[in-house]
């Protein structure tokens, strides 16, 4: 799909041929003398377009426009959240198989956050997964034109939003793929393909190299599967080599059966999404290649399946991580932290300014925060604040959780340096406390996206989060130094 931003007011918008026109009408709308403005003014006055955010009025071939379908959508004060809601419902009204060209108009000077929300919502509302369908009914929309009178003012925001959409869609695509169509090897291949983009390079390590590095914890998870593990090292080099990078670490469990501590059957299929952290790292690199900020970024993806064969790791087994710390694996279903801890140790070699790991790590985080905000864990206020702010700006929200040392009590064991699980209480926090043991050498943050990376139920599917948050955070690094 192609996005374009055009400097255009309602007169121009009315003349433009398209399959559907969506006009975002704010509280402060002032009707001009042109026919379309007059129509909007009348619809507001009569109450046919209710002055409540998200309310819409749908019209077919009105004489005031060259569009086949027109939807007027009320957006209140025009803030991002209201625009997002309005666009989602308006697109829903015009989404037919003949929707190829969509025009969206701001009936007042567009706010930057609103432009970004509109672009994201158009993409969200029209995305269709097709990869494993025999008769793909994909997205018909080919072109989305956003019209604003102040186009030049909002161009940079628009460009960033479009790049984020590309990243979000790549992340959705990989997260949605069934595990037999997204093995660790295929995921590694997808990362290698990104290296065709400007400034991106990629190396994928296999079982031999990983054994040589001493990643005993990661290997313990992988040993229960016939699929070979892969360790992806992506680089985006946008600044001098001397500038230390930000490292992103994405959990890449392509299927999580739980291992010997097997999960219950209902909804186990959803564990194909357990590589959503990895998918978000791929998405971020896609966006970076397009935005070309002057920063360096490294992406690490430890990827394997968590399955059960005769060689599978058993509850009670003790393994030695790359850091040298020994780990008693009391529950084989707490595998995410086992693959991440070795990737975190590997990250030390880059002398990073910050390391952010992204993982569908705990069911407990879903209970705590649901699907609205990702869990944010970061011992340093500066990094935590920067990520919170980035989430707000991208409308990809997170919420800071505590990391008091007392939470680590339950991880103590007589048989190793640390156990991989504590009790049920505070499960997302004890998981973060486990990871923290491997992050002494750099500022670190952990995003638990178990609740936000995908939706269950009727609209089951990946969300592409937190690509928006991460891109926003990285772009802020480019301008702040
Ligand atoms: N991938 C799961 C976390 C998860 C669960 C994500 C539900 C989304 C929905 C993770 O590997 C896991 O199984 N975690 C366990 C940890 C427990 C054994 C301490 C969990 O949350 O139940
Ligand atoms: Mn698990
Ligand atoms: Zn998992």
282-293 pLDDT, tens digit per residue, is 999 999 999 999
Residues 184 and 54 in one domain: no
The domain tally of the chain equals: 2
Residues 247 and 361 in one domain: yes
Q: For ligand 1, atom 13, which residue shows the shortest CA distance?
A: 333
Within a domain: 164: no
What is the arithmetic mean of pLDDT over 237-253?
98
What is the arithmetic mean of pLDDT over 292-302?
98
Give the pLDDT score at 163: 98
Within a domain: 165: no
Condensed to tens digits (0 to 9), the pLDDT of residues 394-446 reads: 999 999 999 999 999 999 999 999 999 999 999 999 999 999 999 999 999 99
- Cα gap 38→35, rounded to integer Å: 5
Residues 235 and 297 in one domain: yes
In this prediction, residue 479 has a pLDDT band, given cuts at 50, 70 and 90, of confident
Which residues lie with the beta carbon below 6 Å from any ligand 1 atom? 256, 274, 331, 333-336, 360-364, 366, 421, 427, 450
CATH number for the domain that contains residue 82: 3.40.220.10
Ligand 3: distance of its center to the CA of 419 in Å?
A: 17
Ligand having the closest approach to the CA of 302: 3
CATH number for the domain that contains residue 200: 3.40.630.10
Cα 35 off chain centre by: 41
Q: Which two tokens stand for residue 295?
A: 């920063």
Residues 206 and 330 in one domain: yes
Give the domain extent around 130. 2-150
Residues 64 and 13 in one domain: yes
Ligand 1: distance of its center to the CA of 233 in Å?
A: 25
Condensed to tens digits (0 to 9), the pLDDT of residues 42-82 reads: 999 999 999 999 999 999 999 999 999 999 999 999 999 99
In this prediction, residue 458 has a pLDDT band, given cuts at 50, 70 and 90, of confident
Condensed to tens digits (0 to 9), the pLDDT of residues 367-385 reads: 999 999 999 999 999 999 9
Within a domain: 278: yes
In this prediction, residue 249 has a pLDDT band, given cuts at 50, 70 and 90, of very high
Neighbours of 339 (CB within 10 A): 27
Cα 276 off chain centre by: 8
Residues 282 and 251 in one domain: yes
Pocket residue to mutate for ligand 1, from 358, 363, 375, most atoms within 8 A of Cβ: 363
Which ligand 1 atom is the nearest neighbour of the CA of 258? Answer: 13
Give the pLDDT score at 384: 98
Residues 128 and 177 in one domain: no
Within a domain: 47: yes
Condensed to tens digits (0 to 9), the pLDDT of residues 315-328 reads: 999 999 999 999 99
Within a domain: 157: no
Residues 96 and 180 in one domain: no
Condensed to tens digits (0 to 9), the pLDDT of residues 204-229 reads: 999 999 999 999 999 999 999 999 99
Within a domain: 162: no
Give the pLDDT score at 136: 83
Query: CB within 8 A of 222, min separation 6: which ones?
Result: 207, 228, 229, 304, 305
Active site residues: 263, 337
Residues 58 and 178 in one domain: no
Which residues, by Cβ under 5 Å, contact ligand 3, an ion?
Answer: 253, 256, 274, 336
Give the pLDDT score at 481: 53
Percent above pLDDT 70 for the chain: 100
Within a domain: 41: yes
Within a domain: 384: yes
Percent above pLDDT 90 for the chain: 96
Residues 125 and 181 in one domain: no
Residues 200 and 232 in one domain: yes
Query: CB within 8 A of 390, min separation 6: which ones?
Result: 396, 469, 470, 472, 473, 476
Pocket residue to mutate for ligand 1, from 254, 272, 333, 407, most atoms within 8 A of Cβ: 333
Residues 82 and 130 in one domain: yes
């Amino acid at each position: 799909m192609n996005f374009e931003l055009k400097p255009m007011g309602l007169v121009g918008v009315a003349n433009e041929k398209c399959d559907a026109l969506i006009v975002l009408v704010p509280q402060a709308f002032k009707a001009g003398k042109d026919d379309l403005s007059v129509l909007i003014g009348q619809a507001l006055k009569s109450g046919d377009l209710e002055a409540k955010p998200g309310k819409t009025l749908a019209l077919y071939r009105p004489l005031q426009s060259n569009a086949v379908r027109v939807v007027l959508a009320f957006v209140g004060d025009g803030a991002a959240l209201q625009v997002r809601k309005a666009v989602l419902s308006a697109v829903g009204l015009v989404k037919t198989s003949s929707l190829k060209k969509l025009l969206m108009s701001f009936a007042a000077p567009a706010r930057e956050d609103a432009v970004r929300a509109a672009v994201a919502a158009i993409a969200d509302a029209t995305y269709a997964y097709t990869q494993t369908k025999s008769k793909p009914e994909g997205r018909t929309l080919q072109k989305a034109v956003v019209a604003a009178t102040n186009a030049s003012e909002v161009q940079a925001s628009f460009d960033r939003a479009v790049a984020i959409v590309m990243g979000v869609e790549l992340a959705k695509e990989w997260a949605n793929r069934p595990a037999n169509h997204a093995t660790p090897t295929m995921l590694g291949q997808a990362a290698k393909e990104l290296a065709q983009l400007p400034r991106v390079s990629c190396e994928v390590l296999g079982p031999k190299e990983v054994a040589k590095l001493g990643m005993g914890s990661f290997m313990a998870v992988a040993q229960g599967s016939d699929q070979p593990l892969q360790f992806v090292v992506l680089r985006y080099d946008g600044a001098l080599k001397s500038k230390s990078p930000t490292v992103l670490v994405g959990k890449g469990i392509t299927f999580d059966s739980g291992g010997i501590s097997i999960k219950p059957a209902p909804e186990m299929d959803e564990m194909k999404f357990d590589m959503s952290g990895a998918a978000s790292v791929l998405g971020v690199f896609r966006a970076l290649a397009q935005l070309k900020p002057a920063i360096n970024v490294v992406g690490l993806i430890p990827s394997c399946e968590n399955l059960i064969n005769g060689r599978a790791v058993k509850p009670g087994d003790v393994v030695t991580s790359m850091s040298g710390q020994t780990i008693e694996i009391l529950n084989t279903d707490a595998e995410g932290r086992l693959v991440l801890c070795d990737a975190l140790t590997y990250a030390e070699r880059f002398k990073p300014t910050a390391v952010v790991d992204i993982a569908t790590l705990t069911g407990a985080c879903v209970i705590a925060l649901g699907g609205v905000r990702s869990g944010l864990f970061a011992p340093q206020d500066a990094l935590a604040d920067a990520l919170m702010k980035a989430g707000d700006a991208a409308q990809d929200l997170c919420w800071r959780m505590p990391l008091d040392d007392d939470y680590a009590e339950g991880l103590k064991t007589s048989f190793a340096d640390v156990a991989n699980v504590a009790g049920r209480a505070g499960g997302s926090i004890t998981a973060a406390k486990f990871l923290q043991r491997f992050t002494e050498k750099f500022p670190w943050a952990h995003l638990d996206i178990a609740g936000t990376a995908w939706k269950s139920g009727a609209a089951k599917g990946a969300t592409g989060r937190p690509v928006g948050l991460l891109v926003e955070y990285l772009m802020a690094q480019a301008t702040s130094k």
